């Protein structure tokens, strides 16, 4: 029997049956997303996928769903207890402390992309191996940092062409506020003890904020009527949050303040946020994040504030794919030019391909299958190529060939499948002209 992939773990391949698992869509999400992050000064970090289990227990919190039931943990050959990372923040903070950035160069803007692992029940938008793109900003405690991150994420969604994105914002206040709220909330929950699920009955004393994040219907109803955390805010916490909201309004970011938003990880302090998309269904969170001003210190580093976010790539590609289907956008992810050749013309095919690519504007695939012309053109079509060039004896003699349009429905202009001279410059010029016509015709 053939071996298949593990449940909840996907292959991202070209031409996948589900568009959101098509590697071409992933490119279309990752390239603009990383370019938006880079434009705000973020730089890439590559961190290990496996960390010590205690890192996640200490940062995410042992009473969260992630740590209590979703981690892939194992004992390695040396007897150490290790875990496949369920998220990226804990590892980023570990690395920040380990490399002593707090002392040498505290302000760091990092972004990362990679697989995360959570043993959740798989469904649309929820997988056991999923990918996140995320960022962490260290040593920036001002309200402007919170606002800048939310604005950047709104721009990131715009860059992906996503509309109908909802932005929910809340604040968990500072330490003083949280201590006060904890008391208020515990008191409130104690009047509903019997209506809470078993886990929440336990959590209502040890970690009452977690009750507000419980997915059970009975607990949700109780959370709905819980006192608003803002009523417990210290003056400092209130001023910080008001400034963040002010900055968002000033930059015309449409947000909704959600007093029930607490997020599923324990390290948060202050501003937290989630972006949702109607295109996604039940698992509607495109991305989430917030401030975690105590974590660096709690994990053994200096007292340094931080804020960050992470977005699920599958959720971004799902939303992008849904939007493309709705707008009937045709994807053109194949090569711009496919060069087929008959025996004797392979040499020219290779050198022409190289010449066109050297201008770095066009994707060129040269057929190297050694098969007949029919098979080569079939492959050109399957690769999603826009134009094909067929090189045979006649073309070798005349130094010209027909640039064959494989997708003539994309532009109405006649006569573009013209004869072109067989040199890099002429071919690039011909492809440039067509690309212009094609994008002009779309608008
Ligand atoms: P999170 O809310 O747990 O936050 O995850 C962020 C995003 O990852 C979610 O909004 C969702 O898009 C995606 N995601 C989470 N679980 C799954 C899953 N099982 N399948 C598919 N996608 C999923 C964090 O991970 C924090 N580290 C974010 C952060 C960074 N906060 C501060 N810095």
Give 248 Cα–ligand 1 centroid separation in angstroms: 23
- The residues that bridge with 134 in the sheet, in sequence order, are 112, 310
The atom number, within ligand 1, closest to the CA of 120 reads 19
> According to the model, what pLDDT value does residue 410 have?
53
pTM of the model: 0.88
Q: Look at ligand 1, atom 16, and give the residue with the nearest C-alpha.
A: 126
Give 264 Cα–ligand 1 centroid separation in angstroms: 9
Half-sphere exposure of 379 (CA within 13 A, CB side): 18
> According to the model, what pLDDT value does residue 437 have?
58
> According to the model, what pLDDT value does residue 276 have?
98
Give 287 Cα–ligand 1 centroid separation in angstroms: 6
> According to the model, what pLDDT value does residue 14 have?
87
Q: Which residues line ligand 1 (CB under 6 A)?
A: 87-89, 118, 120, 125-127, 130, 132, 134, 136, 264-265, 285-290, 292, 308-312, 314-315
The atom number, within ligand 1, closest to the CA of 88 reads 27
Q: Look at ligand 1, atom 11, and give the residue with the nearest C-alpha.
A: 312
Q: At what angle do helices 143-159 and 235-250 cross, to 10 degrees?
A: 30
CB 167 within 8 A of CB 254: yes
> According to the model, what pLDDT value does residue 153 have?
98
Q: Look at ligand 1, atom 12, and give the residue with the nearest C-alpha.
A: 312
pLDDT digits (tens, 9 = 90+) for 97-111: 999 999 999 999 999
CA 386 – CA 25 distance, rounded (Å): 18
Q: Look at ligand 1, atom 9, and give the residue with the nearest C-alpha.
A: 287
> According to the model, what pLDDT value does residue 436 have?
58
Which parts of the chain sit beneath pLDDT 50? 412-415, 439-443
Number of residues assigned to the chain: 443
Q: Look at ligand 1, atom 23, and give the residue with the nearest C-alpha.
A: 312
């Amino acid at each position: 029997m053939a071996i298949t992939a593990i449940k909840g773990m996907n292959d991202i391949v070209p031409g996948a049956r589900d568009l959101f698992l098509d590697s071409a869509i992933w490119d279309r999400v990752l390239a603009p997303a990383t370019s938006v992050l880079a434009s705000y000064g973020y730089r890439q970090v590559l961190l290990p996928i496996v960390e010590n289990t205690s890192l996640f227990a200490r940062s995410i919190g042992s009473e969260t769903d992630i740590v209590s039931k979703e981690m892939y943990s194992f004992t390695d050959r040396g007897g150490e207890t290790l875990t496949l990372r369920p998220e990226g923040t804990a590892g980023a903070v570990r690395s920040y402390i380990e490399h002593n950035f707090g002392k040498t160069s505290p302000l760091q803007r990092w972004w990362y992309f990679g697989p995360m692992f959570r043993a959740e029940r798989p469904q649309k938008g929820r997988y056991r191996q999923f990918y996140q793109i995320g960022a962490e900003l260290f040593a920036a405690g001002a309200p402007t940092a919170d606002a800048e991150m939310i604005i950047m994420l709104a721009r990131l969604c715009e860059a992906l062409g996503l509309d109908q994105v909802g932005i929910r914002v809340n604040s968990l206040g500072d330490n003083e506020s949280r201590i006060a709220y904890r008391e208020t909330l515990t008191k409130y929950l104690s009047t509903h003890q019997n209506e809470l699920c078993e886990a929440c009955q336990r959590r209502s004393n040890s970690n009452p904020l977690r009750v507000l994040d419980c997915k059970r219907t009975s607990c949700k109803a109780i959370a709905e009527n819980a006192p608003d955390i803002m009523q417990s805010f210290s003056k400092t916490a209130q001023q910080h949050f008001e400034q963040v909201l002010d900055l968002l309004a000033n930059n015309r970011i449409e947000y909704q303040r959600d007093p029930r938003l607490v997020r599923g990880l324990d390290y948060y302090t202050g501003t937290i946020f989630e972006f949702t998309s109607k295109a996604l269904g039940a698992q509607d969170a495109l991305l989430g994040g917030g401030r975690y001003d105590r974590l660096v210190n709690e994990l053994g580093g200096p007292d340094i504030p931080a804020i960050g976010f992470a977005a699920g790539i599958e959720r971004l590609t799902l939303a992008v794919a849904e939007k493309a289907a709705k707008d009937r956008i045709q994807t053109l992810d194949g090569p711009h030019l496919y060069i087929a050749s008959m025996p004797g013309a392979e040499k020219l095919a290779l050198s022409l391909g190289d010449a066109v690519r050297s201008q770095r504007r066009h994707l060129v695939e040269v057929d190297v299958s050694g098969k007949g012309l029919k098979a080569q053109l079939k492959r050109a079509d399957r690769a999603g190529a826009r134009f094909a060039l067929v090189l045979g004896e006649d073309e070798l003699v005349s130094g010209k060939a027909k640039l064959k349009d494989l997708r003539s429905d994309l532009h109405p202009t006649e006569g573009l499948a013209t004869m072109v001279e067989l040199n890099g410059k002429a071919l690039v010029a011909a492809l440039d002209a067509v690309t212009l016509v094609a994008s002009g015709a779309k608008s």
